[in-house]
C-alpha cells in the first residue's frame, strides 16, 4: 500500500509541476504577444481582421486590413490566395464596393 501511495504522490507532484509550467509559458507568450500588438497597433502595423464570408465547407473569403490597405483573400484547406487589394482608406473602399462590407 505504501508503494501505491508514493506513486500517487509522485503523479500528483508531476501534474502540479506540469500545470505550473504551462501557466508560466502561457503568461510569457501572452505578454509577448500583447506587447507586440500594442507596439504594432500604435503605428498601423497590426493586421486587422475585418470580415469573413464562408463560401464552402472549408473555403472562406476574408477581408483584412494592414497599414491602411485592405486585402481580399481566398482561404482554402490548400492555401491562401490574394483576390483583390485596395490601397484606399476604408471609407473610400466602402464607397466603391456595391452594397459595402455590411452586405457580405
What's the sign of the alpha-carbon dihedral 78, 84, 88, 93?
A: negative
Domain ranges of the chain: 1-45, 47-103
Angle at 76 (CA atoms; ends 71, 97), nearest 5 degrees: 30
pLDDT in tens, the chain (104 residues): 788 999 999 999 999 999 998 888 877 766 544 444 444 445 556 788 889 999 989 899 999 988 888 899 999 999 999 999 888 555 555 555 555 555 55
First and final CA of the chain: distance in angstroms?
66
> How far, in Å, CA of 99 to CA of 19, rounded?
50
Look at residue 35 in the predicted model and tell me its pLDDT: 42
Look at residue 41 in the predicted model and tell me its pLDDT: 46
Residue with cell 464552402: 56
State the cell numbers at 2.
Answer: 505504501
State the cell numbers at 88.
Answer: 484606399
Angle at 26 (CA atoms; ends 18, 45), nearest 5 degrees: 160
Amino acid at each position: 500500500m505504501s508503494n501505491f501511495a508514493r506513486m500517487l504522490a509522485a503523479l500528483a507532484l508531476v501534474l502540479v509541476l506540469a500545470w505550473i509550467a504551462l501557466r508560466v509559458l502561457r503568461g510569457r507568450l501572452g505578454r509577448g504577444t500583447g506587447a507586440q500588438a500594442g507596439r504594432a497597433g500604435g503605428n498601423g502595423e497590426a493586421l486587422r481582421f475585418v470580415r469573413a464570408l464562408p463560401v464552402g465547407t472549408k473555403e472562406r473569403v476574408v477581408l483584412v486590413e494592414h497599414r491602411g490597405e485592405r486585402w481580399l483573400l481566398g482561404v482554402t484547406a490548400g492555401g491562401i490566395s490574394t483576390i483583390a487589394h485596395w490601397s484606399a482608406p476604408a471609407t473610400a473602399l466602402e464607397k466603391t464596393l456595391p452594397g459595402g462590407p455590411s452586405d457580405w
